[in-house]
Each structure stands twice: as C-alpha cells, then as structure tokens.
Structure 1
Amino acid sequence: MITDPIAVTLLLGTFLILILLGKHIAFAIGIATLVTTFYLGIPMQTAAQNMVKGINVFALLSVPFFILAGEIMGAGGISRRLIKLANALVGWLRGGLAMVNIAASMFFGGISGSPTADTSSIGSILIPMMKEDGYDGDFATTVTMASSIQGLLIPPSHNMIIYALAAGSVSIGQLFLAGAVPGILLGVALMIYCYFVSLKRNYPVGDKFNMKTALKAVWEAGLGLGTVLIVVIGVVGGIFTATESAAIAVVYAFIITFFVYREIPLSEMGGILTRSIKTLSIVMILIATSAAFGWIIAYLKIPAMITNVILGISQNKIVILLIINILLLVLGAMMDMVSIILIITPILMPVVTSIGVDPVHFGVIMILNLGIGLITPPVGVILFIGSAISGIKLEKLTRSMVPFYIVMLITLIIVTYFPQVVMFIPTHFMG
C-alpha cells in the first residue's frame, strides 16, 4: 500500500500534541489538517471546501432542532414531571429513589438525547433528595451519572444522526429503533445492581404503588413524552424525514412548555435560544473540521492501512470486535464524542463490514462505548458535572463509579456479541 508515512505522522502527531497541550478538540483537528495539507502541497481551499461540504448536508438540519427541542422541554418543568412519573412506577421498590433516578433518566434521555442535560437537570433535583433520604452522596451521584448514558441510546438521539452522516447510507429510523432495547437493557442492569446495593446498605423503600397516582403521573408527563413519539413514529413510519420531525417536535415542545405547563415565561426563550446556539456552534465546528480531517485521512489511505493491521492481528470476529471496543473505550475517555464519531467511523467501517457486522449494529456499539467514555477520566465531562452538583471530589466519584463501569461493560458485551438485541426491532419493523 502506497502512502506517505511522514504525512501520517505529521497529521496524527500534530493532533495528539495539541490535545495534550489542552487545546480544544476542534482547533486540534483543524490545525493538524492545515499543517498536513500544506506539507502535501494541496491547495488550502481544498480544506475549506471540505469543511463547507461537511456541514452542507440536509440531514444535519435536524440537529439544531433536536437540540432546541431538548432545551425547551428541559427548561419547562418536564424534569419534575418525569421524576414524578418514575416515582409512581418504580419508587415503591427497595432503594426507590435510585430506581426513580434511573427511570427518570430513561424518560428524559428520550427527550433531550443529552447526558449532560440529563445529569444537570435530573441530578440537581434527585441528588439532594437522595442524600436527605439517607443515601450516600457518592452513590446518589454515580447513579445519576451512569443512568444519564441511556439518553444516547433511547431515541431520538442527535448523536445517532451524526453517526448516520459519518457512516453513509445508514437509515436514521433503523438507528433510532436499534438504540431502544440496549438503552432499556442498560437501565434494567443498573436497577438490578442498585437493588442489591440498597438491600446491603438498607436504603429506604418508597411509598406503595398506587394506580390512581400512577395514572395521574402518566397524564401529566405524557404531553412531554409526546415529543419522543412525534419523532420516532414520524421517522420510522416514513411520515416525516428526521429534519421535518425535529422541526415539528420544536413547535410541539414550545406549545406544551409555554402554553400548557406554563411554568416559565416567554421571556425565557431568549436564554433557551442562546444555550441552543452555543451547543450547536460547538457541534457544527467539530463537524466542519472533522470533515476536512476525514478527507485527509482518506487521501492518505489510513482506513485501508488500519483495516489491514487489525485483520493482520486476527481474522476472528470476536477478537476484532474486542480490539475495536478497547480502542473506542480509550478514545472515549480522552476525546469529544462527536469528533470521535466523525473521525473514527469512516476508518473502522471497512473493518466491521468485512467481518459481517451491520452498520446499524456497529452504530449502537460505538455510541454505548463513547457514552462510557463520558463518565471516565481524564476528560469525562459527566464526571465534572456530577462533581459540581454534588460537591464530591472527582477522585472519590471515580472510585465509586467502578461497579457501575462493570455493569455498563457487561451491557456493552451483550450488545456487541448478541446482535439480535440490537437488530430485532429495526429488522422486524423496517426490514
């Protein structure tokens, strides 16, 4: 295979040095691309053209709408209603508030698709409640952080859309459906662990199950959860495109928040738009610079080179998937999630397709892997948010996370090596 080893070293070396120096991931990607482009003698406008091409994609129009819908619902009292619903459904179990935390994250994740928003909104309410009720502070915080990862899998998820863009010709509807069972499986696994911890530490039992209370909670939270139904049913049923469904979800979320729930005034919309634009700007600059970076990677034939290296180690599907999982876990602990999806997906796609892994299945494997990275040092952003909310040091939270890491890794193994868990629903409903 003919490639330029100096250019490859320059590209990856510049990128890694800038990351180690603490530069923002988007700048590290962009500068490494420009330096390598200059070395190769490629016109600089080629990099600029690829940056524009990377964000000039119709499917990306759905991302700002999903972000805005999540911000509107998160600010409008939906968190409290979802916690009330979760309490009515699972709060009667031993360690009820821990179960409520996980179930609320499952519901909220379907609306926001953001673990950071989940940890911030659910955690700010439930962590103090759990501590008051006799739960250890580190346990309350780690439950919140671990359960927030469900939001990456439970549809709709804007990270799934970004993966579909990076993978090419992958159905967004199938990705949405594929994430549902793994997301629920992760929640159930966390609940089982929390139940045994609650028995051991004698955490309190919540109020007995009451059907009237449960139905009332479903009614109050149902309007908020309607956002999820609009997107998933619309996309899967072929009624809307992902972009159209996201735009409709924004209008629906706006009406429910400001004219039905009416817990915040219309004047709050300015702050919601500001936060949405800030999040979107970070995502879009990452997509633009990653597109140029990805073009250079393809130009240097790095995907083919990595494919040959991995397949040279082993032809065994189990071993190859293990290698890929380890690689993604390491990268997820050190880099931003969106940039990893955009850069690594085109590199690994030839490897996984060569061993017969469906791109939809691989998308769920990647998202879950990188979700674990969000709560793993040294860069895990969810750890910092959990620490800020609870006031507990990162070192203590990291130690307390160890059992949760084990639970999540077991879930990852099931998702990786039992593709039926991921593919049954999308295959059954969409072929």
Structure 2
Amino acid sequence: MANAADIGLILLLSIPILLMIGVPISVSMGIGSVLAMATIFTFDRMAITSAQRIFAGINSFSLLAIPFFILAGNIMTSGGIARRLINFAKALICFIPGSLMQTNIVANMLFGAISGSGVAAAAAIGGAMGPQQKADGYDPKVSAAANIASAPAGMLIPPSNTFIIYSLASGGSSVAALFMAGYIPGILWGIACMIPVVFFARKAGYKSERLGSFKENFRITIEAIPALMMIVIVVGGIISGIFTPTEASAIAVVYVTVLSLAYRTMSLKMVPDLLLATVKTTAMIIFMIGVSSIMGWIMAYAQIPNVIASSLLSITDNPILIMIIMNIVILLLGFVMDPTPAILIFAPIFLPIATSLGVDPVHFGVLMVFNLCIGTITPPVGPIMFVGCRIAELKIEEVVKPLLPFFFILVALLMAVTFIPELSLALPRAAGLIQ
C-alpha cells in the first residue's frame, strides 16, 4: 500500500500529464484520482468508493439552482432581452467619451447579472454592439478588448453560478451572503473597465453621443424594466427569505420564459434546442463536481491541503504577504483552469489558511471568484477571451495589447477588494446575513 506522499505524487503528476496530451480537465481529474486510489484499495473497493464519492459530491439540493440559472441564461440569450438592455445602457451613459464601448460595458454588467454567465454576455452583447461600433469608426481591437474585459462582471453580480459552486466547495457558506457580497466588487469591476475606455476614446477622438429626449429615454427605460426586475425578484426573494436560491432559479426560468414570449422573440420551437444546450452545460459541470469529490477525498487522505498550508506558512507569518501569495497563486491558476474546477479543487485548500488569518469565508469567496474571473479573459484558457475574439472575428494576439490596461486596473482593484473587506462584507452585514 502506498504512503500519503506517493499518493499525492501520483495525483499531482498524472493530472498535468493528461492535460498536456489533450484530455479534458474533468476526465483528467477523474482518471488521476482513480489512479491514486488504486494504490490503496482493491479494484472492487476503489469502484465502490469512487461511486460513493461522486454521489456524495452531487447530492446537494442547492446544486439544482445551476441548471435552472443556465436555462434562464440560454432563454435570455435567444429571447431578445439583450437589445433592450443595450438601449437602456446607452441611454444611461451616452454622454461619456467612447459611448458605444461604454454602453457595451454597462450592458455586459446588466446582461451578465441577469444571466449569470460572462461567456453569454460577451457573445450576446458583443455580437450586437460590434457591428455598430465598427460602423461608427471604432477600433475593432479596442472594442473587443472592452467587451471581453467587462463580461466577467456578471459572474460577480448575482445571481452567479460560481458563488453557488464556492458555497458547495467551502462547506456551506451562505449563498445569499455570497450573492450580496458580489454586488459592490462586480459594479466596481464594470466601472474599472470604463476608465481605460475614456483614455482610448480621447486618444482616438471618439465623441460622446447626444442625450436622447426625455420621452425616448422614458420609453427605453420602460422596455428594460421587465428584464431588470428579474434581479429584484430573484435576489430580493432570496435575501428576504421568501424562497431559497434553488427555488429562485426555477422562478427565474418561468419569469424569463414569460418575458421572452411576451416580447415575441421566442417560440416554442426553440425550446428543445434550449433544453439540449442547458443539459450539455449542466452535465459538464455536475460531472466535474462529482469527480472533484473523489479528488478531494484523495487529497485529504494524502494530507495535501495540510502540506500546502504548512509550506505557505513556513515562508512567512505576515498575513498581508500570505494573502498576496494566495492571490497570485489563484490568479495563475485562473490562467490555466476554468473557474469551476479551480474552485472545487483549491477552495478546500486555501480557505482554512484564510480563515486562520481571520478572513471571513464569504470575503474569501469573493476574492477567489474575482481572481478566477480575471483568468477568464487571459490566455491560454480564457473562455471569455476566446468567445469575444470569435465574435469580433479577430485573432487572440490582436486583442492582447489593448486588453493589457484593463488587466492591470482589474488586478489593482483585486488588491483593493482583498485588503478592504467591507467592499465585500458591507452589504451582507447590512442585510443581516453575516455577523
């Protein structure tokens, strides 16, 4: 029987090797975990334990919220809601230099907040705004960079699937508290993305647009209110205790379905395709959660979290330096991993270290999601970057340079969120969700 060190070595070597030869990350996690488990159990016991861990990992009522929120986002993407949010965003900030790019950013915040998906926001809003920006003489590379950089804001502004997954991985942090904690950092993310656009716009001579008439802006606002009300209904219902996050996700599906049918931008013929897309995405996430449960069990058996914690604390006992190191590590992980597996694998490792320093688990959840959101806009994985570039019909290397100012200002904002806990905790405390 292998000792803990050997088990950890097998686990830590097999997964990177499988990833390098092109095996999907969820399958790599599963194979690596089974290989490590095979060194301590017979085949029969290994199979039974693996099955038990997968079932235990996905046997959570709160996980039902994920497929419902994904379905709600898919319905929104095809339901004509994006155009109304774009018009509303344009009415709000048309007077700011580079108004079309600024509209893209605000619309990404609104659409991402409602759909919970940064990728969906980049595709829906970027796809609608790109041709208009190009027609008005905007640099496609800068426009694509603004779209890519701002899309993850919706992953912080609730409802957010990443916070639901963190709640599971952290051992039960309040989803409602996490949702409230994401508001201020998510809004600050969008504002931070607007700052470089002002400089780009002034340098290129992009003018602001004329403020519309009161009658026109009133009409645009009225058209957007039904879509915006979903945030109020879902988050307000959770905070007030009227329904749970899982119940809220089902209500969101019903609401956006009725809204899309009322807008006459969705037909019943589209339902099978929407359901199929939802099932594919949900299956991928749930499978990843299941195999990560096996991996978590093996890591605990091999005492890998304790080894990492001891190694980190042996470097320094300065809480500020430890938080900076953890931020750097999680940020680098975000460059090469999607948020879901990164949260499932590393939240149980880093959260005990953070809490030992007096960091609130909700605050740490915001930090982790913030870091990983930055990873979604950076190569080599960067799903939002790939989608944004594909929508703009540009190569990744063409967008990297204009994306750099956004990256640096977001990293600076990450440091502010790290060392000013009230940016995350003020709203949950005001709502009585945490002490």
Same topology, TM > 0.5:
yes
Match of residue 301, structure 1, among 300, 303, 306: 303
Aligned to 1:16: 16
Which residues of 2 match residues 122-137 of structure 1 at below 5 A?
Answer: 122-137=125-140
| Contact 1:314 1:320 survives alignment (8 Å) | yes
> What is the letter of the counterpart of residue 342 of structure 2?
I
Aligned to 1:202: 205
TM-score, length-normalised on structure 1?
A: 0.97
Q: Give, in whole Å, the separation in 2 of the partners of 1:411 and 1:209.
A: 33
Q: Give, in whole Å, the separation in 1 of the partners of 2:225 and 2:238.
A: 20
Deviation of the 1:204 alpha carbon: 2.3
Q: Give, in whole Å, the separation in 2 of the partners of 1:211 and 1:282.
A: 47
Match of residue 404, structure 1, among 384, 402, 406: 406
Which residues of 2 match residues 254-293 of structure 1 at below 5 A?
Answer: 254-258=257-261, 260-293=262-295
Aligned to 1:32: 32
Aligned to 1:228: 231
Q: What SS class does the counterpart of residue 336 from structure 2 fall into?
A: coil
Aligned to 1:351: 353
Aligned to 2:190: 187
| Contact 1:88 1:210 survives alignment (8 Å) | no
Aligned to 2:362: 360
Match of residue 121, structure 1, among 121, 124, 138: 124
Match of residue 96, structure 1, among 73, 96, 99: 99
Deviation of the 1:344 alpha carbon: 0.4
My pick for the range that moved more, 127-136 or 157-166, is 127-136
Q: Give, in whole Å, the separation in 1 of the partners of 2:69 and 2:398.
A: 34
| Deviation sequence 1:236-260 (CA, Å, 0-9, x none) | 11110111111111111111111x1
Q: Give, in whole Å, the separation in 2 of the partners of 1:83 and 1:184.
A: 17
Q: Give, in whole Å, the separation in 2 of the partners of 1:351 and 1:209.
A: 52
Q: Give, in whole Å, the separation in 1 of the partners of 2:176 and 2:218.
A: 30
Q: What SS class does the counterpart of residue 40 from structure 1 fall into?
A: coil
Deviation of the 1:264 alpha carbon: 2.3
Deviation of the 1:169 alpha carbon: 2.5
| Contact 2:377 2:385 survives alignment (8 Å) | yes
Deviation of the 1:210 alpha carbon: 3.5
Aligned to 1:332: 334
Aligned to 2:53: 50
Q: What SS class does the counterpart of residue 170 from structure 1 fall into?
A: coil
Aligned to 1:392: 394
Q: 4+ residue stretches of structure 1 with deviation over 6 A?
A: none
Aligned CA distance change for structure 1 residues 3 and 219 (closer, same or farther; 3 Å):
farther
Structure 2: gaps of 5 or more residues = none
Structure 1: gaps of 5 or more residues = none
Q: Give, in whole Å, the separation in 1 of the partners of 2:150 and 2:390.
A: 17
Match of residue 219, structure 2, among 213, 216, 219: 216
| Contact 1:51 1:291 survives alignment (8 Å) | yes
Q: What SS class does the counterpart of residue 119 from structure 1 fall into?
A: helix
Deviation of the 1:3 alpha carbon: 6.2
> What is the letter of the counterpart of residue 287 of structure 2?
I
| Contact 1:3 1:301 survives alignment (8 Å) | no
Deviation of the 1:205 alpha carbon: 1.3
| Deviation sequence 1:377-415 (CA, Å, 0-9, x none) | 111112211221112111111222111111111111111
Q: What SS class does the counterpart of residue 264 from structure 1 fall into?
A: coil
Q: Give, in whole Å, the separation in 2 of the partners of 1:129 and 1:279.
A: 30
Q: What SS class does the counterpart of residue 375 from structure 1 fall into?
A: coil
| Deviation sequence 1:55-91 (CA, Å, 0-9, x none) | 1111101111111111111211000000000001012
- Taking every aligned residue pair, what percent have the same amino acid on both sides? 41
Q: What SS class does the counterpart of residue 403 from structure 2 fall into?
A: helix
| Deviation sequence 1:282-315 (CA, Å, 0-9, x none) | 1111111111111111111111111111111111
TM-score, length-normalised on structure 2?
A: 0.96
> What is the letter of the counterpart of residue 352 of structure 2?
P
Q: Give, in whole Å, the separation in 1 of the partners of 2:214 and 2:178.
A: 34
Q: Give, in whole Å, the separation in 2 of the partners of 1:86 and 1:400.
A: 23
Q: What SS class does the counterpart of residue 122 from structure 2 fall into?
A: helix
Deviation of the 1:212 alpha carbon: 2.7
| Contact 2:4 2:301 survives alignment (8 Å) | no
Deviation of the 1:215 alpha carbon: 2.2
Aligned to 1:41: 41
Q: Give, in whole Å, the separation in 2 of the partners of 1:7 and 1:168.
A: 24
Q: Give, in whole Å, the separation in 1 of the partners of 2:89 and 2:3.
A: 55
| Contact 2:4 2:303 survives alignment (8 Å) | no
> What is the letter of the counterpart of residue 289 of structure 1?
V
Q: Give, in whole Å, the separation in 2 of the partners of 1:295 and 1:364.
A: 25
| Contact 2:71 2:274 survives alignment (8 Å) | yes
| Contact 1:25 1:336 survives alignment (8 Å) | no
Q: Give, in whole Å, the separation in 1 of the partners of 2:167 and 2:218.
A: 37
Q: Give, in whole Å, the separation in 2 of the partners of 1:230 and 1:294.
A: 36
Q: What SS class does the counterpart of residue 361 from structure 1 fall into?
A: helix
Aligned to 1:153: 156
Q: Give, in whole Å, the separation in 2 of the partners of 1:113 and 1:17.
A: 32
> What is the letter of the counterpart of residue 303 of structure 2?
K
How many residue pairs align between the two structures? Answer: 429
